[in-house]
Structure 1
Amino acid sequence: MQNKTIAKLGISRRNVLKGAAAISGLSAIGGTFPMPALAQSNPINVMTLSQGIFGQPFVDLASEFTKQTGIAVNMITMGYSEAIQKQAAAFAAQSDAYDVVQVDSVFIKGFAKAGHIQPLDDLIPAAELADYFGDIPATFKDMYSDGGKTFGLATIGNCQRFIYNEAYLKDAGKSAPETWDDLLSAAQKVVSPSKNRYGFVAGTERLVKAFSVWLPIFWANGGKIFDDQMKPVFGDQTGLDALNMLLELVKTMPTGGAAYTEADETKAMAAGLGTLDPVAWIPDAITTADATVQSQLKSAVSPKGKARQAPVMGGLGLTVSKYAKDASAAAKYCAWFNSRDVQAKSIVPHGGQPCRNSAWEANASAKPWFPAVAASLKVAMVRPQIPEWGQVDNAVGAQLSRAFSGEAGPKDALDASVKAVDGIMRDAGYY
């Protein structure tokens, strides 16, 4: 869900967390639960998204969870934007309206520091947590932890992946690019206006995707967003080189590419307009394409730079509200959906993507893009989990969009980005 941003709500991540803080200052290994003698008289209230990979499994499997545990569930589902606002308001009011809250990973540390979500270490048996942590990409543990304590479980795994049109590349005498330099060369080579065929495709819209389109190139070449004092340092030569490469890639996009939304991005690949989308968050380009294009679309891990492969990590995890009426039952819910058995057998058939490595292996053939996503999760990098990230994302995205459209040169755009982020971080009291 990282492809969506608080900018579209007109609020910042910092304000979400500040507002929420203002008032307040696995299943058993193998996936089986002992059945209580009597089912609970009061259900736990669970807030999740309503559909898609981040919502459908929870909606579909609520009754199965109750059947296995005796814990009744009241599902409260909604879209992403509404969920962000509702959970922030509930936390601010110290409301017990929700026992389990599905939280965007970018908010985890902020909500944990504000005291709105409970550590799970004393609510879930140590052996279950140890088994879970031994079976997930290492990055997930840090994403959902703070101060050595566990504040959430990843549950659904998602990050950027690379989708490309293999037939178009072959027609241009190219193979699937393994490096960003190769990708630029392939994007330039494949362009053929007479065939209505173009190269690079991405959601470059400034308030939704711009920063996360630039980041995997920057990170892949060893770039750092902040130094040890949290001062922005991404305007260095590595940042400039990454932006120059991205600007060259944008030149190979279909008409209007510099302002593409994510919907435009997926439609371009599905319709056979584009050839290379190395920053795709969702598989919609594959699932919505006609039979001919669908057979041509393949998936891989995003390209390598001088230092690494660096797709951007996303995801929403399950947490237990500090104000939960039944924290123990809420923790059982979180553990059950992250257990080996449920992850391997139930998440994928109900529209989700697992977080456990073993579950990805068990479901490797379920979807043609699954092996690429599983491999991508192991190398994906996490955006800074700070309350101010939404403001940072917006500020940099606005400047990058000026560079995409030719309103500003790449160095001027980066310098303006760094200046804006420096102001945000100073105002927030980092230095």
Structure 2
Amino acid sequence: MTSSRIRRAALAAAGVTLLSVAGTACAGAGGGGAAGDQSTINVLMVNNPQMVDIQRLTADNFTKQTGIKVNYTVLPENDVRDKITQEFSSQAGQYDVATVSNFEVPFYAKNGWLAPLDDHIAKDTAFDQNDILPSMRQSLTADDGKVYAEPFYGESSFLMYRKDVFAAKGLSVPPNPTWQQVADLAAAADGAQPGMKGICLRGQPGWGELFAPLTTVVNTFGGTWFTKDWQPQVNAPEFKDATNFYVNLVRAHGEAGAPQAGFSECLNNMTQGKVAMWYDATSAAGQLETQDSPVAGKIGYAQAPVVRTKNSQWLYTWAWGVQKASKKQDAAWKFISWASGKDYENLVGSKLGWSKVPAGKRASTYTNPDYLKAAGAFAAPTEQAIAGADPRNPGVQPRPTIGIQFVDIPEFTDLGTQVSQRVSAAIAGSESVDAALDAGQQLAEKVAAKYRGK
């Protein structure tokens, strides 16, 4: 598989798109024919491995079954979020479907950017909406009670580690470790094999990159972005303690190039044996356990590390949402019904291997014997992590909005990203954590002023 950096360089050079063969010719974004033509749709999505898989499977399966061609535009996470926000806020209708998360859905729906899916769901009895895990259904349902997206895969977060590396050193990883235990284990594993570092932690700027794991650390250290009455806490002692711990750990025992490392880079590091541990999304396990993975069968899985809370994992889903301005909503739903359906999971299992199934969204996945046979190493820890996540009470104090690894307001994308840039600089050694978070406190105060008293 091409490395993420090479993919990103190619995408930047090409402009934007990476088209599925299902798109045929060079239709590109917006090349789906006349408005209302249901024979072609345009899909804008993040470049995670599961999305790469669906590109490979679309033409010979979905298009062959329905006659609907799909033009995919694929971008790295930070870039795709920006583009989706621009596209959906303008309601230009250039894209029919996009990958949105449980972060965006509530305010996208409130702003009228997404089309409700309830009528389609009601007519499509084969889709089986009740099989979608309750936490996922709830996270994609807006305040008006309508469903605005369907999950492609769901995830929580946990600790992944090399069982063989720790066994060789006579060490074990607890099933429910503390962060101090993880730090000690990272120190012990650093250099255990040539070129191996103790742990991989995201350092790449972005509210959905660096601050996805880091905010869970903040939560369990007793910190929060805002109190219930919108008092910012970015430079409070608990937030600083958590961030200093994270920065010091990755600087001392983390991966090479940590300030530029996101999910894809850490996945590559773990797969290539360059790190002994990795705290990140549960969805990564399927990639680590593929038949062609050099570390398949060597990985152990523990729950997200804690300090002051019982749990500290996140809850997240990449889901398919339909732009309200789309003139091809019937075709868009057919794509979503296929991509989020049971049959697609069976297709991935039979064609690509059951460990690569985009799981974490359907109850039936965790009773499927074929999936459990392939995913036995991580199915139970994943299900436990998803079930234990509590987006309404993720820390030690009440919160002003729902969300574990994010604050569910539109302004958090800019706030989290700006603060993450300063924290990434601290990981690089060019700024102190105190200076980064003091600057973040000022930014957070401006955001809080908009909400205080509402």
Fold in common (TM above 0.5): yes
- Structure 2 counterparts to residues 32-431 of structure 1, below 5 A: 42-43=38-39, 45-49=41-45, 52-57=49-54, 60-61=57-58, 64-65=61-62, 71-81=66-76, 84=81, 87-88=84-85, 90-92=87-89, 94-125=91-122, 132-133=129-130, 135-177=132-174, 178-179=176-177, 180-192=179-191, 196-207=195-206, 209-254=209-254, 256=256, 258-262=258-262, 264-279=265-280, 282-283=284-285, 291=294, 293-339=295-341, 341-342=342-343, 344-349=345-350, 351-354=356-359, 355-362=361-368, 363-367=371-375, 368-380=377-389, 381-426=404-449
Shift of 1:286: 5.9
CA 1:59/1:145 → structure 2, altered by over 3 Å: closer, same or farther?
Answer: farther
Shift of 1:175: 0.8
Which residue number corresponds to residue 13 of structure 1? none
TM-score, structure 1 length as denominator? 0.75
Match for 1:73: what amino acid? I
Whether contact under 8 Å (1:62, 1:73) holds in the other structure is: no
User: C-alpha separation between the residues in 1 aligned to 2:213 and 2:430?
Assistant: 19
Whether contact under 8 Å (1:337, 1:343) holds in the other structure is: yes
TM-score, structure 2 length as denominator? 0.71
Shift of 1:395: 1.9
CA 1:400/1:94 → structure 2, altered by over 3 Å: closer, same or farther?
Answer: closer
CA 1:109/1:62 → structure 2, altered by over 3 Å: closer, same or farther?
Answer: farther
User: C-alpha separation between the residues in 2 aligned to 1:257 and 1:250?
Assistant: 10
Whether contact under 8 Å (1:270, 1:289) holds in the other structure is: no
User: C-alpha separation between the residues in 1 aligned to 2:270 and 2:367?
Assistant: 27
User: C-alpha separation between the residues in 2 aligned to 1:344 and 1:288?
Assistant: 17
Structure of greater relative contact order (alpha carbons < 8 Å, 6+ residues apart): 1
Identical aligned pairs, as a percentage?
19
Whether contact under 8 Å (2:42, 2:96) holds in the other structure is: yes
RMSD value, Cα: 3.9
User: C-alpha separation between the residues in 2 aligned to 1:42 and 1:401?
Assistant: 45
Out of 117-126 and 56-65, give the one that drifted further. 56-65
Note the residue ranges of structure 2 that are not aligned, 5 or more in a row: 10-35, 390-403
Shift of 1:77: 0.2
User: C-alpha separation between the residues in 1 aligned to 2:129 and 2:312?
Assistant: 24
CA 1:92/1:264 → structure 2, altered by over 3 Å: closer, same or farther?
Answer: closer
Number of aligned residues: 391
User: C-alpha separation between the residues in 2 aligned to 1:60 and 1:127?
Assistant: 22
User: C-alpha separation between the residues in 1 aligned to 2:110 and 2:68?
Assistant: 28
- Secondary structure class of the residue paired with 1:317: strand
User: C-alpha separation between the residues in 2 aligned to 1:129 and 1:420?
Assistant: 47
Which residue number corresponds to residue 25 of structure 1? none
Note the residue ranges of structure 1 that are not aligned, 5 or more in a row: 10-39
Shift of 1:319: 1.8
User: C-alpha separation between the residues in 2 aligned to 1:149 and 1:161?
Assistant: 31
Shift of 1:148: 2.4
Shift of 1:186: 1.4
Whether contact under 8 Å (2:199, 2:255) holds in the other structure is: no
